[in-house]
């Protein structure tokens, strides 16, 4: 006992105010004395703990555990020679051990297992469970597993807990960078490896540079790669983005919490693949992604900790999403969509060898960092001109990309605006909501009836049910023709309701053109290709629709929604011979109108871009 007291006497210097450095020095000296005496420091744990508690040392249990951790013979803590050394820490436990003692021994056991490989750790686990069973500890397997839960495996990762995210920004290029040449190189990289839609390479290059200047942007458009089927180049495009963008973090599945916690911690560029398998039906995830469109609203609030303190998490970062088919309308409205397509026979691309490409593109990433740093003031003050063919949300989505294009110079300002019109302009077909589809069809029905003051509900429903490729003939569950009540329910959110209309046959319920005009203008406007002169309600037409006598047949313009080029062709075919000499092309000796028609039918895209054209 005298030897034991001597070995532990250094711990008498511990006081309630001892610093961590002081305690560390005391424990080192204690271990050295015990080893000099030829004893195992682990056998001194209980006495050391009692002595430290007696002297009111800070964190007495923690420091006493220091004696339980096996050493590698040099005085440094290291891996035990075999699992038996870790198991030995649990030897000699009394029956029904004190919680403090059990806690210290289990933590020491875990420390002893820290540098074992998986096999050695499993052997130690089984031995540890047996030692706890011998001591009468309840649920010994749970105790051992809890002790081992936070350990890292031999790769340095937490066992069973994934791997740490490590995202680093590349070092800036040492010299000033030609922005237009940089963007050209990025555009060429995409065109070399992927078949892209018109304007797609321009959009990808600009969005790539946006990731390097994202904090200055007033809007963060989603970049969406959608395709009707698999094998259309979506994943390859994401791989290329991963080699080019700032701090890429790919993911083929993720939860709402993973999104906002990763963004809050790392501000990555999220590259989300296979979104059709988990995102389209996840309303919470859609809400989180929607929130990241503008910096002012790019937050979600969650309760954190035992006190459930509300904390705000950022959702502001660049995000690219790839999926089969289309995203929900609210997400797609915040996106620049690239309709991807499968490579056809005769179309060739270079094989993507990702490892080599990533290494080869490292200088491009560094140049992008330098260019973004050098042009930050220009982009902050930018107010780019928006093409007239973009609606409000599309204009917001393209504004940061157009600002980048203007800062690049060269042909990029023109190319960017051309790409914006091709990918997001008024001519792009969108999946309208069912409400907008109904309003569009109602506008067409009123037009077919020459825009009367009002149309009876029964007439509207008859016309709706007769429309092909529309759901109105089989509406609701079970599918039945749409009823007046269902029509009223659909139009109510737009502030439209039926009203009485007096006719010679009596009063009938009808929908007035003036009540629908505002909804038409806001949600179902006339396409830009049609006349911009709004049709005016024909007050006399209403009398014709409601007369009990034989009404005049309504004039229906069956060609109103046909392409003008096809109408021109039909006009040539249907026209009667003229008594006047036709205008003849001096080269082909054929009527010019026939040549124009043949140009419409026979025209093929040229493989060569004419001079002065902008490459997309």
Give tens-digit pLDDT for 468-483: 888 898 888 788 899 9
Q: Which residue has the higher pLDDT, 280 or 267?
A: 267
Q: Say whether both 195 and 137 belong to one domain.
A: no
Q: Say whether both 218 and 316 belong to one domain.
A: yes
Domain end point (choices 424, 450, 482): 424
Note the pLDDT of residue 66: 67
Label residue 316 by pLDDT band (50, 70, 90): very high
Note the pLDDT of residue 65: 67
Note the pLDDT of residue 426: 64
Distance CA 13, CA 30 (A): 11
Copy the structure tokens of residue 254.
């993720």
- Whether 553 is in a domain gets the answer no
Residue with tokens 């973009």: 390
Length of the chain (residues): 616
- Whether 554 is in a domain gets the answer no
Average of per-residue pLDDT across 262-288: 92
- Ranges of H-type helices in 466-563: 484-491, 513-523, 539-546
Note the pLDDT of residue 513: 93
Note the pLDDT of residue 449: 92
Question: For all residues of the chain together, what is the average pLDDT?
Answer: 79
Domain end point (choices 402, 424, 446): 424
Please, what is the Cα angle at 301 between 299 and 303, to 5 degrees? Answer: 155
Copy the structure tokens of residue 552.
């005049």
Q: Which residue has the higher pLDDT, 411 or 553?
A: 411
Q: What's the CATH code of the domain at 268?
A: 3.40.50.300
Q: Say whether both 296 and 396 belong to one domain.
A: yes
Label residue 525 by pLDDT band (50, 70, 90): confident
Label residue 549 by pLDDT band (50, 70, 90): very low
- Whether 607 is in a domain gets the answer no
Q: Say whether both 237 and 308 belong to one domain.
A: yes
Q: Say whether both 21 and 126 belong to one domain.
A: yes
Q: 160-191: per-residue pLDDT in tens?
A: 566 778 788 899 999 999 999 999 999 999 99
User: In the predicted model, is pLDDT for residue 309 greater than 50?
Assistant: yes
Q: 280-297: per-residue pLDDT in tens?
A: 889 999 999 999 999 999
Q: Say whether both 386 and 493 belong to one domain.
A: no
Note the pLDDT of residue 420: 95
Note the pLDDT of residue 69: 58
Cis peptide leading into residue 478 (ω within 30°): yes
- Whether 209 is in a domain gets the answer yes
User: In the predicted model, is pLDDT for residue 76 greater than 70?
Assistant: no
- Whether 164 is in a domain gets the answer no
Label residue 259 by pLDDT band (50, 70, 90): very high
Average of per-residue pLDDT across 441-457: 92
Average of per-residue pLDDT across 572-580: 39
Highest mean pLDDT among 102-111, 503-512, 546-555: 503-512
User: In the predicted model, is pLDDT for residue 574 greater than 90?
Assistant: no
Note the pLDDT of residue 431: 57
Note the pLDDT of residue 527: 67
Q: What's the CATH code of the domain at 542?
A: 1.10.10
User: In the predicted model, is pLDDT for residue 608 greater than 80?
Assistant: no
- Whether 82 is in a domain gets the answer yes
Which residue range forms the structural domain that includes residue 223? 179-424
Q: Say whether both 328 and 440 belong to one domain.
A: no
Q: 397-438: per-residue pLDDT in tens?
A: 999 999 999 999 999 999 999 999 999 986 555 556 788 889
CA 181 to mean position of chain CA atoms: 29
Q: 350-371: per-residue pLDDT in tens?
A: 998 888 888 899 999 999 999 9
Domain end point (choices 391, 424, 457): 424
Note the pLDDT of residue 597: 36
Quick one: what percent of the chain has pLDDT higher than 90? 41
Note the pLDDT of residue 173: 95
Q: Say whether both 413 and 481 belong to one domain.
A: no
Note the pLDDT of residue 397: 96
- Whether 21 is in a domain gets the answer yes
Burial class (CB in 10 A: 0-12, 13-18, 19+), 197: middle
Q: Say whether both 352 and 273 belong to one domain.
A: yes
Q: Say whether both 266 and 299 belong to one domain.
A: yes
Average of per-residue pLDDT across 69-94: 64
* 3 state SS of 314: strand
Q: In total, how many domains does the chain have?
A: 4
Label residue 152 by pLDDT band (50, 70, 90): low
- Whether 159 is in a domain gets the answer no
Distance CA 334, CA 292 (A): 10
Label residue 531 by pLDDT band (50, 70, 90): very low
**What global pTM score does this model have?**
0.57
Long-range contacts of 394-400 (CB under 8 A, 24+ apart): 394/420, 394/424, 394/425, 396/218, 396/219, 396/221, 397/219, 397/221, 397/334, 397/335, 397/336, 397/424, 398/221, 398/336, 398/424, 399/218, 399/219, 400/210, 400/213, 400/217, 400/218, 400/219, 400/220, 400/221
User: In the predicted model, is pLDDT for residue 563 greater than 80?
Assistant: no
Q: Say whether both 407 and 510 belong to one domain.
A: no
Q: Say whether both 509 and 540 belong to one domain.
A: yes
For the chain, the C-alpha Rg in angstroms (whole number) is 37
Backbone angles phi, psi at 272, to 5 degrees: -100, 115
Q: Which residue has the higher pLDDT, 225 or 532?
A: 225
Nearest to 414 by CA among 220, 615, 198: 615
């Amino acid at each position: 006992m005298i030897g034991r007291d001597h070995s532990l006497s250094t711990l008498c210097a511990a006081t309630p105010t001892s610093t961590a450095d002081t305690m560390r020095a005391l424990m080192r000296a204690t271990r050295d004395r015990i080893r000099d005496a030829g004893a195992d420091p682990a056998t001194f744990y209980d006495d050391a703990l009692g002595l430290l508690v007696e002297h009111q040392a800070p964190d007495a249990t923690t420091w006493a555990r220091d004696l339980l951790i096996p050493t590698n013979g040099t005085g440094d803590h290291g891996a035990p020679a075999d699992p038996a050394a870790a198991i030995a820490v649990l030897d000699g436990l009394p029956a029904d051990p004190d919680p403090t003692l059990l806690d210290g021994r289990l933590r020491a056991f875990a420390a002893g297992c820290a540098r074992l490989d998986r096999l050695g750790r499993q052997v130690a686990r089984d031995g540890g469970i047996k030692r706890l069973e011998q001591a009468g500890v309840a649920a010994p397997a749970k105790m051992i597993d809890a002790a081992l839960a936070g350990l890292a495996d031999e790769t340095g990762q937490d066992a069973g807990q994934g791997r740490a995210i490590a995202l680093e920004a590349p070092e800036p290029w040492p010299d000033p960078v030609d922005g237009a040449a940089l963007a050209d190189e990025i555009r060429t990289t995409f065109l070399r490896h992927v078949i892209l839609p018109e304007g797609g390479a321009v959009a990808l290059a600009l969005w790539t540079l946006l990731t390097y200047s994202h904090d200055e942007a007033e809007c963060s458009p989603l970049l969406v790669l959608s395709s009707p089927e698999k094998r259309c180049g979506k994943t390859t495009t994401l791989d290329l983005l991963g080699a080019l963008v700032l701090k890429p973090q790919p993911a083929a599945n993720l939860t709402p919490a993973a999104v906002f916690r990763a963004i809050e911690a790392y501000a990555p560029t999220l590259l989300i693949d296979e979104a059709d398998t988990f995102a389209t039906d996840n309303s919470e995830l859609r809400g989180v992604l929607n929130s990241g469109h503008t910096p002012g609203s790019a937050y979600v609030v969650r309760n954190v900790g035992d006190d459930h303190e509300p904390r705000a998490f950022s959702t502001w970062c660049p995000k690219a999403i790839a999926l089969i088919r289309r995203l929900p309308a609210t997400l797609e409205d915040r996106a620049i969509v690239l309709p991807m397509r499968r490579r056809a026979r005769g179309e060739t691309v270079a094989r993507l060898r990702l490892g080599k490409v990533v290494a080869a593109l490292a200088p491009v990433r560094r140049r992008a960092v330098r260019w973004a740093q050098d042009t930050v003031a220009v982009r902050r003050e930018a107010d780019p001109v928006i093409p007239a063919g973009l609606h409000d949300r599309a204009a917001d989505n393209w504004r940061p990309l157009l600002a980048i294009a203007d800062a690049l110079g060269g042909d990029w300002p023109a190319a960017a605006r051309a790409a914006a019109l091709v990918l997001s302009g008024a001519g792009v077909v969108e999946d309208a909501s069912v409400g907008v589809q109904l309003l569009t069809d109602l506008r067409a029905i009123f037009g077919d009836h020459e825009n009367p003051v009002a149309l009876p509900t029964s007439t509207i429903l008859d016309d709706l049910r007769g429309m092909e490729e529309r759901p109105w003939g089989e509406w609701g569950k079970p599918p039945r023709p749409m009823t007046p009540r269902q029509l009223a329910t659909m139009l109510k959110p737009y502030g439209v309701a039926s009203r009485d209309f007096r006719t010679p046959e009596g009063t009938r319920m009808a929908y007035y053109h003036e009540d629908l005009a505002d909804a038409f203008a806001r949600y179902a406007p006339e396409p830009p290709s049609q006349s911009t002169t709004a049709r005016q309600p024909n007050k006399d037409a209403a009398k014709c629709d409601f007369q009990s006598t034989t009404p005049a047949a309504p004039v229906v313009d069956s060609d109103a929604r046909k392409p003008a080029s096809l109408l021109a062709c039909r006009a040539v075919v249907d026209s009667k011979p003229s008594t006047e000499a036709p205008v003849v092309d001096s080269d082909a000796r054929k009527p010019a109108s026939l040549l124009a028609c043949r140009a419409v039918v026979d025209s093929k895209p040229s493989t060569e871009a004419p001079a002065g054209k902008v490459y997309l």
